[in-house]
Amino acid sequence: MRIAVAMSGGVDSSVTAALLQAAGHQVIGLTMKLWACAKDGGPDNARLAAARSDTCCSPKDLLDAHAVCAKLGIEHHVLEMADAFSGEVIRDFVEEYARGRTPNPCVRCNQRIKSKGLIERARALGCEALATGHYARIDDDPATGLRRLRTGLDDTRDQSYFLFPLAQEELRFLRFPVGERTKSQIRRVAAACGLPVAEKAESQEVCFVFDHNHRRFLRDRIPEAFAPGPILTEDGREVGRHDGLAGYTIGQRRGLRVAWREPLYVVALDLARNAVILGPDASLHAAGLAASALHWIAGAPPAAQAFRAQAKIRYRNPPNPCTVRLDGDRAEVRFDVPVRAVTPGQAVVFYEGDVVLGGGWIDARTG
């Protein structure tokens, strides 16, 4: 089988290519060039991209991907996708902050660029499948024959949260070879294959904010979101001033520059009053949330309007038992135990055991 591999320059995608080649497949590497970002309004971002190597999709990563493909003796195609990335991911990132929300660009990238964009390119190159280095698994539901998205075998690396917007057609074309392995196993395979990225550190930051300075990045694009305003307690007392709502997120404690008798956290962003609202840790806990723009892996929602599930409200959080009530394209989620820092703009993903049911985008906390 001719299989394209999305080569990020990291160890996971590199081992993906090596495993598929060892299994007898004809493998080609695809690397997205996303970092010509200066054209979207940030004059320094292309320069910063060239200087950094600790974010994914940097120029250094492209060179690493090329080196791995050369080591394996496979074709390597560099795909110019900066315009699509800027329009679909960076624009959404900026617009969400302008609305007083905290976006998740990794989910958007997987949804709009890595799945749809790379699958289209892979098909154009005559490939029958696209493989990535995601820690997730795909199989068939024995009851329905539909494709299922499942968590990766390594719970500490599972990336299924980022993949909830995948459609059945995409799941039939995708392969996730590393999802059946642990990270330590992947490192050992990379070393055994002599891959030049075997010991490469993982990227941790938003890939297009190359200096890790979110405020600078956003201020260059939406200066209106940095209008100064009041910092208020929950009962309306002004305890400080902020320099723009876009610089704050729910649950934040650092950088508030507020002296108080107890630790205070950002519990809300009031766009109408241009105010940051602070409260104690207890005020961060919510009984539920409201979500919209729902997507279901099976192509349709569960038959019952109310059902039990486990929900993750951010990537690193454990799944929380809950009851989900559906109303068209909206969901009301009630947790068995209140959860901390429900953040509008983040994804909520629903699980049944290790199977991803679907998810949506958080609009508000409830209760």
Strands 2-6 and 26-33: parallel
Q: Return the axis-axis angle of helices 91-98 and 214-221, rounded to nearest 10°.
A: 90
Q: What is the mean pLDDT of residues 79-106?
A: 94
Kindly tell me if the per-residue pLDDT of 225 is higher than 80: yes
- Enter the DSSP assignment of 216: H
Q: What is the mean pLDDT of residues 255-262?
A: 90
Kindly tell me if the per-residue pLDDT of 41 is higher than 50: no
Question: Annotated active-site positions, please?
Answer: 109, 207
Give residue 11's pLDDT. Answer: 97
Give residue 43's pLDDT. Answer: 43
Give residue 115's pLDDT. Answer: 84
**At the topology level of CATH, where does 284-366 sit?**
Elongation Factor Tu (Ef-tu); domain 3 (2.40.30)
Tokens representing residue 318 in the block: 């454990």
Share of the chain above pLDDT 90, in %: 85
Q: May I ask the CATH class of domain 227-279?
A: mainly beta
Average pLDDT along the chain: 93
Q: What is the pLDDT of residues 45-88, one digit of tens each?
A: 455 444 444 555 678 899 999 999 999 999 999 999 999 999 99
Give residue 206's pLDDT. Answer: 80
Give residue 132's pLDDT. Answer: 98
Q: What is the mean pLDDT of residues 5-11?
A: 96
- Considering the domain 2-192, what is its CATH architecture? 3-Layer(aba) Sandwich (3.40)
Kindly tell me if the per-residue pLDDT of 360 is higher than 60: yes
Q: What is the pLDDT of residues 305-322, one digit of tens each?
A: 999 999 999 998 999 999
Give residue 58's pLDDT. Answer: 76
* Out of 27-36, 53-62, 105-114, 124-133, least confident range: 53-62
Domain ranges for the chain, please list them.
2-192, 227-279, 284-366
Share of the chain above pLDDT 70, in %: 93
Strands (E), the chain: 2-6, 26-33, 75-80, 129-131, 136-140, 147-151, 174-175, 229-233, 238-242, 265-270, 275-279, 285-296, 306-312, 320-327, 330-340, 347-352, 355-366
Give residue 335's pLDDT. Answer: 99
Give residue 173's pLDDT. Answer: 98
CA distances from 207 to 32, 75, 105, 203, 289 (A): 12, 25, 9, 8, 29
Give residue 57's pLDDT. Answer: 65
Give residue 203's pLDDT. Answer: 73
